[in-house]
A and B are shown apart, each in its own frame.
Chain A
């Protein structure tokens, strides 16, 4: 069973990622399928009955197309066809910040160590690191920086709001 990073731990993956051309039967045959968006759009009524359902978006697919149905899904996976494609960094923020999606947001595809921190900051909490790479090594990326200027999903306040709070605390304790 493939390993993934979830909440900073390397665990065995329970999910089955279905390819773009999967059909309804493929989805019904798995326990925890991650289905492509097109399949959901064509067969939502049949697929809705699956107890634990995940869905994945390719990099040109928009979270807006999923927004109405989000409560159905236990997992949204966002595909990176190449590691230089940053579109889904925005998708993850939208899922978390605009659509308040609380369940797993997983990075799939060309996922490498040096994207992990950006991804985590944007709202991903699970990473299917490319299978020729060591996920334990990739995890180290999450601790490379202790300072972040901007607010994002992980730390919503920008440094200038935290800086002010820190100096107030400092003043208060003097």
Chain B
């Protein structure tokens, strides 16, 4: 993974000093609440229900063992011995003290981490495929490009007071595991007919209040021009994006207003001045950054089908686990493992200090000292030897990471919701837990098969409910918490946005609603059909009828 040089290190240290002074000025009354707000937000610090919440950047999900250990130490020293992995592969602390944040940043800087631009109206952490560099369907490793974008966007002076937040995602594989179509900018690494490397550029996607899929505004952008073109997009947005209404301030509203063609024309006009200027990327820089993402020292191994099949027979639990919680690897004899943070009774994505330390150890012993956060709020050990898989499974069972539910109904993606977040209209964690409890039976879960259930506690859609096969959105009705259900969202092979089922439900009705939806699926599915396939074939109506049918 990327290692800081003296410039990178200097920058994060200067940031710590800057933020320390900003905090001092705020506490001394030299900065008003209002003036401090964008400063603390661009440092990931929210003021929440119980305490501030600090969002630490997990650049494109990558976390080294020493960073995991530092996170564990920080949660012990400054928080309540746990952290939360977010849907944008950041790490959140729920209980830090505002006064302690400068010291937390100093600790983070000592392991090449920071919380720069993890919130606020600026360019946020770029996200990508959790299997980057190891997925068999990968065309180009996106991570060097994520890092190049990270550096370009870090304290970009022109784009630190944007109309609204701005999110990038990059995909380099055939299957889009980064949900690039629902980001402000989505980049697809690709080759043109001459075999040259570049990007397909999508703009104006997003979830939130107005969910939209991004539009392609450039079919092929040669890699040298990626930053100057991004600068052109951001400049057009910075100048012409709406600032009069927070809910209409995202770039998607501007793209829609101008039409994608109109927006593309404006960007091209701007780009003509920037293209071939100093921001043009150099082969040397791409090479310098790429050297941090070369293959680790893989052994010459072969696939262990036989061994694994035999272990499956001996340990049915292992068979079940590996059928869900592993992902194929491009190297023979290797496999990627997903550590489930979706055990029933634990808030989705939460991880204790002890578990963070344990992941650090596991990463060192099984996966070249690296782990990754995922958009689904789990962790990945990307480079595990197949012959070690059983031993790893036995270890992680003890640690609470082996719930065999990746991609199943109980692998619920869920924002912190009303229990923690001041923005939320409704709680989300108790809903997730009630549904997990309803679907505890593993045989039944496996029978239901692939199903993405996403819960957001408000319109901001941190739980990505629009792209869940089943999406649940917390809404406020005259001071009471209700839940709106949508069906048919998806991401991956194709991205689609869910359709609202109908009137919303009370919290305690939710497990029954989900049971009824699953019932309709089971009654109607053909062999091999996933929930989403059945939904796409039969449509919303049968689900609606069943859920809203009067009681007999």
Q: Which residues of A contact B288 (CB under 8 A)?
A: 160, 163
A144, B18: Cβ atoms closer than 8 Å? yes
| CB of A117 closer than 8 Å to a CB of B | yes
CB distance from A102 to the nearest CB of B (A): 18
Cβ contact within 8 Å between A147 and B161: no
Q: Are B238 and A163 in contact (CB under 8 A)?
A: no
With beta carbons under 8 angstroms apart, the residue of A62, A89, A98, A157 that contacts B157 is A89
A90 cross-chain contacts in B, Cβ below 8 A: 158, 235, 238-239
Q: Which of B473-523 contact A (CB under 8 A)?
A: none
Q: Contacts of B78 on A, CB cut-off 8 Å?
A: none
Residues of B within 8 A of A84 (CB): 38, 121, 161
Q: Which one of B201-209, B279-287, B527-535 is at the A interface?
A: B279-287
B80 interfacial contact with A, CB 8 Å: no
Q: How many A-B residue pairs have CB under 8 A?
A: 106
Residues 148-200 of B contacting A (Cβ, < 8 Å): 151-152, 154-162
What is the minimal beta-carbon distance from B5 to any residue of chain A, in angstroms?
8
Contact flag A118-B160 (CB < 8 Å), given A85-B243, A98-B273, A148-B155: yes
Would you call A164 an interface residue if the criterion is a C-beta within 8 Å of the partner chain's C-beta atoms?
Answer: yes
Q: By the criterion CB–CB under 8 Å, are B155 and A149 in contact?
A: yes
Specify which chain A residues have a CB less than 8 angstroms from the CB of B15 in the assembled complex: 145
* A90-B158, A145-B18 given; A83·B11 CB < 8 A: no
Residues of B with C-beta under 8 A to A160: 151, 281-282, 284-285, 288
Q: Is A122 an interface residue, CB under 8 A from the partner?
A: yes
Within 8 Å by CB of A149, from B11, B38, B160, lies B11
Q: Is A106 close to B, CB under 8 A?
A: no
Check A118/B14 contact, CB under 8 A, given A84-B121, A164-B285.
Answer: no
| Chain A residues, CB < 8 A from B159 | 86, 89
Q: Does B17 count as interface, using CB distance less than 8 angstroms?
A: yes
Assess A86 versus B282: contact at CB under 8 Å? Given A114-B39, A146-B14, A163-B7. Answer: no
Query: What does the 1/0 interface line of B202-240 toward A look like (CB < 8 Å)?
Result: 000000000000000000000000010000000100110
Most chain B CB within a 10 A radius of its CB, from A91, A120, A137, A158: A158
- By a CB distance below 8 angstroms, the chain A residues around B8 are 147
Residues 260-284 of B, flagged 1 when their CB comes within 8 A of A and 0 if not, give 0000000000000100001101101
What is the 8 Å Cβ interface bit string for chain A, positions 84-99, against chain B (1 contact, 0 not)?
A: 1111011101000110
Question: Would you call B11 and A145 a contact (CB within 8 A)?
Answer: yes
Q: How far is the CA of A53 from the CA of B279 in the complex (A)?
A: 34
Tell whether, in the assembled complex, residue A145 and residue B14 are in contact, meaning their CB atoms are under 8 Å apart.
yes
A161 to B286, alpha carbons, bound, how many Å? Answer: 12
Partner of A150 from B121, B152, B161, B273 at Cβ < 8 Å: B152
CA distance A149 to B14 in the complex (A): 13
Distance from B124 Cβ to chain A, minimum over Cβ atoms (Å): 16
Indicate if the CB atoms of A159 and B278 lie closer than 8 Å.
Answer: no
A89 closest partner in B (C-beta): B158
Closest Cβ–Cβ distance, residue B37 to chain A (whole Å): 9
Given A86-B162, A158-B279, also A117-B157 (CB < 8 A)? yes
B158 near A146: Cβ-Cβ < 8 Å: no
Q: How long is the Cα–Cα vector from A164 to B18 in the complex, in angstroms?
A: 28
Contacts beyond the supplied A62-B239, A137-B30, A158-B227: 7 A-B pairs with Cβ under 8 Å: A83-B161, A90-B235, A91-B239, A93-B158, A118-B158, A147-B11, A150-B152
Interface residues of A (CB under 8 A from B): 62, 83-87, 89-91, 93, 97-98, 112, 114-115, 117-122, 137, 144-152, 156-161, 163-164
7 closest pairs, A vs B, by CB? A86-B161, A121-B157, A160-B285, A118-B157, A147-B11, A149-B151, A89-B158
- Contact sample, A vs B, 6 pairs, CB 8 Å cutoff: A90-B158, A90-B235, A93-B158, A149-B11, A151-B278, A158-B279
Interface residues of B (CB under 8 A from A): 7-8, 10-11, 14-15, 17-18, 21-22, 30, 35, 38-39, 121, 151-152, 154-162, 227, 235, 238-239, 243, 273, 278-279, 281-282, 284-285, 288
